[in-house]
Structure 1
């Protein structure tokens, strides 16, 4: 019994060297845990001088303004004002009137894309020409009247007969059969727009209404209003797809459908059989009313 107590005491007891080691370990642990607290108290938060930065910014702004004013004065010294038509003027003549190379490039791009200045105030719409510069140019602007304007004065307020005569002079293009060369005959359509229209038409399978042109990149409401009277549409030329036999690869060209929607349509067809009519497509969760309305003209059952 005494031997058992001795062995238990020796098992749970510590020698002097072991006690010193435990004490040292505890001391190190406390120091490690307390070091972040002492570090935060001893270290100082960095101080930033924002005032110096603000002064540098103000100095930069002032120097930029001085340079701009200097360039403006230099341009004004070399300006030669004369009567001009902004629709016909050359780049060298724009430069003589005080426009920078960048401003001339913006005006030239506007004219090359079919833009036209019909009245003096139209020049103010060029974003690169500030109001102060326009006011200096305005007294010298002389816009020549077009043939239609000379024939029909009073700001183009045509009578019914005059309007029909002018319309007969406009080349009307059928949109679904025209190639890119034919589209160039439309006033306001250049090579870039013609290429985009053909590419979008091929993906669709044809246009079923003229308003779809507004989905072509770069054709906004202003451009559309400019060209719509020069176009006609034969919806019978639309290439339709049989929704019950079309494959994924054939369907993925359709711009109105995402890959997920096409996959859902084909999976539903595989599970439930052929679609009977357009109402069957409404049973597919990923196809909402708007999408179905857009793709309906391109589908057969």
Structure 2
């Protein structure tokens, strides 16, 4: 036992040597730690997140989720995007035919017209058609057309796009202020393309709109240009009566993040315009 403990007996010089050796080891370890911390970087340290690209990816993921969920719900076939068309089983050519047709500012108003434009098969149409949802004013188109030939009392049905302030004041519930407001709204649009747009005139009651529909119809075509949201500048979009500067700024940011706007429905959700207005506002827009 004495021999065992004899190995741990040191003189003064040996103890000093051991102390300085330990001190040297501590200094070297600390120096190595500082060196690695300052000069040796993690392989992940150089990874920088591109915030613009990440926003675009997040936006696309959100859009795909929404479209996937909505595949089994009623939808307006005029606003089928590339992705949704693919999910519905349409070919690239069929989707392109629809988009080319829409670029002319025209709309499909029935399942048969959709097939005529896209040339989809009868079997695919039978699957998609039950989910087609067209605006109420389209489904009532025939009755609206017939009403053009009716008269109110002894007065002929007039064209809302050529009506004067005095013409409008003849309608019960419309005074000078409301008549002027309707004309300003019409002029900013470049003309009414459907009478449902009257519901968006500030202060115009729905019962008054019904009275206007009895005496007025749209007989002259819309004269204003169609606004292409993928090409228009922020200033041009801000001039549109439904957008203004705030929504134009949001549309420009959305277009920049996404690269291209291909769905009015998703755009309206993102900029805060009620989706039930898409059909009438879309009359003045293109993609």
TM-score by length of 1: 0.37
Whose Rg is larger?
1
TM-score by length of 2: 0.38
